[in-house]
Structure 1
Amino acid sequence: MLSSPTAPTSVVADACRYVASDLATDVVVHVREVKFYLHKFPLISKSSRLQRLVLKATEETTDEVRIDDLPGGAKSFEICAKFCYGMVVTLSPHNVVAARCAAEYLEMTEEMEKGNLIFKIEVFMNSSILRSWKDSIIVLQRTKALSPWSEELKVVGRCIDAIASKTSVDPANVTWSYSHNNSKKGGACAEIVESAGKPSIAPKDWWVEDLCELDVDLYRRVMVAIKSKGRMSPELIGEALKAYAVRWLPDSYDALVAEGHMRRNQCLVETLIWLLPSDKSSGCSCRFLLKLLKVAILVGGGEHVKEELIRRISFQLHKATVKDLLLPATSPPNDGTYDVRLVHDLVQRFVARTALSHNGGFIEKSDEKMIELNFEQESTLAVGELVDGYLSEVASDQAPSLPMFVELATAVPEAARPVHDTLYYAVDAYLKVCSKIKRQTL
């Protein structure tokens, strides 16, 4: 795989690399399990570390040098060695991180020679990689295997900043193609270009799916950078988080709590909660927040993240459905399948917030205030209907304790029930289940 101006061909044999040259090699560089048979002069002229290692080997009367901790291993060393021999080195998003870390390790700096490998790679990164949307993502994905070198060299940070900056560009400057990784899934791939002529039409969320390919730690850092720029709406942030949850959170209970995956899922859901938009009343749907709450309960999420979700849900509880509220019970004092006490807490918080808004916000009877009042009334009615429907559902499951049933039924104000038909149905269902349970225990 190696060649030089005096040796334009190369020979590969098992775990050995030979330079095809008329000159006999005078040094063997061991990079983990691979041996490179090379010449000292090309190496020591461009690498300060190799210069020291070769000098030490000479003093010890040996022609062998061992490097076991080179970032990227034998493949990255081969790139560096080719450069030392004056060969053309082909860099791509797939190998540039390893090459950059290896060049740093080998100290291929400007002090050794002007236009050395570190300089060349930096030029390539800045002029090509960081200007490309898809290349920045590919490089960022490859930094994880090369940590902490990629962190210390700020490759990770620069990729994150480049990606975050590109998410806020005018969609008119985004072109779509069916290439790159997403082509395997039939999805569109985006790239940013200078608009010339008629621009391609791209939605505002063009970047969302591409970021779903990142692992959770890198995704968190990219989303933090996007949010810190202050140019992205809460709705788009919420849409991005939902897409990531759909991509990585399992649908089935067994997969969610499977041994070996539960900790990962816990970390994932806690990260998504931490990334939620700061505006608690917008950005994410009530259904999505309740789904996150269900997952957090099942995977044993921390109390602080569950409390954050409960607060957010209470702001838009009127948008929930009965199915959304069927939150799993995991421990006493719940005596059924569903956590009735948690739903009671949600209802109480919604009612308290509505009452506070009503008492403090409707002194002036302007049109704006009346519209707000009507909205609050509609929300309260919706929650009243929601509670009664929920009571009917949980009653037919396994009747909760009578005090808990009554507490939840009376948690909404009287104005929330202009009619009581649904509540009567819930009470009837509850009494039937209680009667059945009583007969079974006799």
Structure 2
Amino acid sequence: MEACSDLQVDVNGEETIFLSKKIICEYSGKFKKLLGKSNCSERNLKVIFNDFPGGAESFELVSRFCYNNGRFSVTPSNVVLLHCAAKFMEVPDLLEQTEKSMDEIRFWTWPDLLAALKQCQDLKKSPESDPLAAKFMDSLVGKLNLTVEASPSSASASSPDSSLFRFSCDSKSTESFKNSSARGTWWFDELLVLGPDLFETLVKIMVSHKFDHFIITRFLLYYQKAKFCSANLDEKRKILETTLDTLYVLDRSCVSCKTLFGILRIALGLKNNIESSSMMSKLENMIGNQLDQATLDNLLVPSPYRSNQSYNVNLILRFTKSFLDSITGGFHVQPQTERLKKVSNLIDLYIAEVAPDPCLKPSKFLALVTAIPDSARESHDEIYRAIDMYLEAHIGLTESEKLKIIRRLSYEKLSSESRAHISHNRKFPAAERVISQKLKLKTSTDDSPGEALNLRLEKMEISGENEKLKEHLQGIQWRVMELERACRKMQNQMEIMKKISKSTRRGNTRSLPKLCS
């Protein structure tokens, strides 16, 4: 350097560099403005930078450019540092060289692009880093597109349910996971150097370039698996948001329902009220669209923290709503009907599974029962079983609450075994047992006045606005049933007495002496 080192520059507190004011001001517009009218005779001139892009390393590179009379080798390995520093120090000659170097980006190698991206990542505070990173990644994706086109079979090398989609932090499984990667996805490991922010930008560029959706999906899940174990909470959230935002716009067939439930369990494990975010809504929508592919084990998601319920019933209700919305207005009626039946059977199994939970409120239980249109259920046997278990676990329900739940049963859709069972089920209110014997009453030729009254009551439409009338009619139904039960009991007793009387008469006849016969 020049002997006249009349300028001290403190670079981000990392290092103090001594320079010649005359030389540095010749190339840097920023230093000209800062040092303006001062002259070389003045000593102890000092400039302090707290936000210099690239720190002492990039400042030294620019200083060398100035001391070499503007002659300096700009390469992919230093172009980012030089460009950002030149922008900051306002060195137009250096900026011209860096921009010319980046104009040749199509000739850069894969390692050159990765090195440049790594530098962009290290210069997070520089406003120039993001546009540069996008430029490099655009070129990177272009090269990857050529790779994918050259290896068309790589996209089908694995299915969404393969080992590539398992979520584990075990080092052994991670190693085998890498070894099992298809030849066309060798770049997955290479791009793990990117942080969550650049990862998000890269994936967006892939989508905009119409990159193969299946490959993007595999890369998303590979990146998530590899980075999650070492990431902090904010980074995990960022990775999940990027993954779900991208999956949401990709072809839904690229990711299975099983994989989505795996992501769901990871998402629910994060804090920061993640369940109320738009990210969670997108995940619920994607799962809801594929709910017919789910299993009962998938649905048994534990309830949120501080909830008394055993399972997250609200989540399943939202899944069901998303599914119903997805099939509404479908052109292929028959396939949609089959899907609806599958979901109906699945939800019925779920209801029976959660029914014994003593903390499950009647309103939530009813919401589950009514979540699926009744027309989708061919049988109500599972619903009856669930209601039976619910009443068993909730003995404190009022008669009105019991009736609201039991009325959801369609007795015509019960099997003969279930009808026989419900007629003797003491957990069901007597008023409802009358309805269960509806078919028997219709075929009876000796209907009692009480039976006729009960049938009329069944056909009445009770207004929800008049609760007192409803309770009164329910009481009448109850008393009618009690009277009928007492009548049947008396009839049975009379039949027994008749049989005993006949038997006694026959016995007495046989025991009489021959003289009196």
**TM-score of the superposition, structure 1-length normalised?**
0.65
Which residue identity does 1:100 align to in structure 2?
Answer: H
Unpaired runs of 5+ in structure 2?
A: 152-173, 397-517
SS in structure 2 at match of 1:62: coil
Are 2:36 and 1:36 aligned?
no
Distance 1:187 1:136 in 2: 26
Which digits, 9 at most, give the CA deviation of each residue in 1:181-237, with x for residues without a partner? xxx979989xxxxxxxxxxx942x5544544443322222222222223x2244333
Distance 1:432 1:307 in 2: 35
Are 2:213 and 1:242 aligned?
no
SS in structure 1 at match of 2:303: coil
Q: Which residue of 1 aligns with 2:137?
A: 160
Cα distance, 1:343 vs structure 2: 0.8
Farther off after superposition, 298-307 or 51-60: 51-60
- 1:16-31 alignment runs, 5 A limit: 19=1, 24-31=3-10
Distance 1:304 1:55 in 2: 53
Bigger strand share = 1
Cα distance, 1:316 vs structure 2: 0.9
Are 2:280 and 1:320 aligned?
no
- 1:377-416 alignment runs, 5 A limit: 377-395=337-355, 400-409=360-369, 411-412=371-372
Distance 1:377 1:153 in 2: 49
Aligned length: 367
Q: For residues 328 and 90 of structure 1, do their structure 2 counterparts lie closer, same or farther at Cα, with a shift above 3 Å needed? A: farther
Q: Which residue of 1 aligns with 2:464?
A: none
SS in structure 2 at match of 1:376: helix
Q: Which residue of 2 aligns with 1:284?
A: 255
SS in structure 2 at match of 1:318: helix
Are 2:194 and 1:214 aligned?
yes
Farther off after superposition, 75-84 or 292-301: 292-301
Unpaired runs of 5+ in structure 1?
A: 1-18, 111-116, 175-183, 190-200, 363-372, 437-442
Q: For residues 63 and 414 of structure 1, do their structure 2 counterparts lie closer, same or farther at Cα, with a shift above 3 Å needed? A: closer
Q: For residues 327 and 210 of structure 1, do their structure 2 counterparts lie closer, same or farther at Cα, with a shift above 3 Å needed? A: farther
Distance 2:314 2:21 in 1: 75
SS in structure 2 at match of 1:31: strand
Distance 2:358 2:48 in 1: 66
Farther off after superposition, 73-82 or 299-308: 299-308
Q: For residues 186 and 321 of structure 1, do their structure 2 counterparts lie closer, same or farther at Cα, with a shift above 3 Å needed? A: closer
Q: Which residue of 2 aligns with 1:68?
A: 49
Cα distance, 1:419 vs structure 2: 7.2
Q: Which residue of 1 aligns with 2:86?
A: 103
- Percent identical pairs in the alignment equals 25
Q: For residues 280 and 327 of structure 1, do their structure 2 counterparts lie closer, same or farther at Cα, with a shift above 3 Å needed? A: farther
- 1:288-307 alignment runs, 5 A limit: 288-297=259-268, 298-299=270-271, 300-301=273-274, 302-307=276-281
Cα distance, 1:335 vs structure 2: 4.0
Bigger helix share = 2
Cα distance, 1:248 vs structure 2: 4.1
Distance 1:185 1:99 in 2: 38
Which digits, 9 at most, give the CA deviation of each residue in 1:377-423, with x for residues without a partner? 54334323432443354346666234533542454456766677876
- 1:347-366 alignment runs, 5 A limit: 347-351=320-324, 353-354=326-327, 356-357=329-330, 361-362=332-333
Cα distance, 1:290 vs structure 2: 3.5
Q: Which residue of 2 aligns with 1:339?
A: 312
Distance 1:185 1:44 in 2: 54
- C-alpha contact (below 8 Å) 2:121/2:194 kept by paired residues: no
- C-alpha contact (below 8 Å) 1:130/1:162 kept by paired residues: no
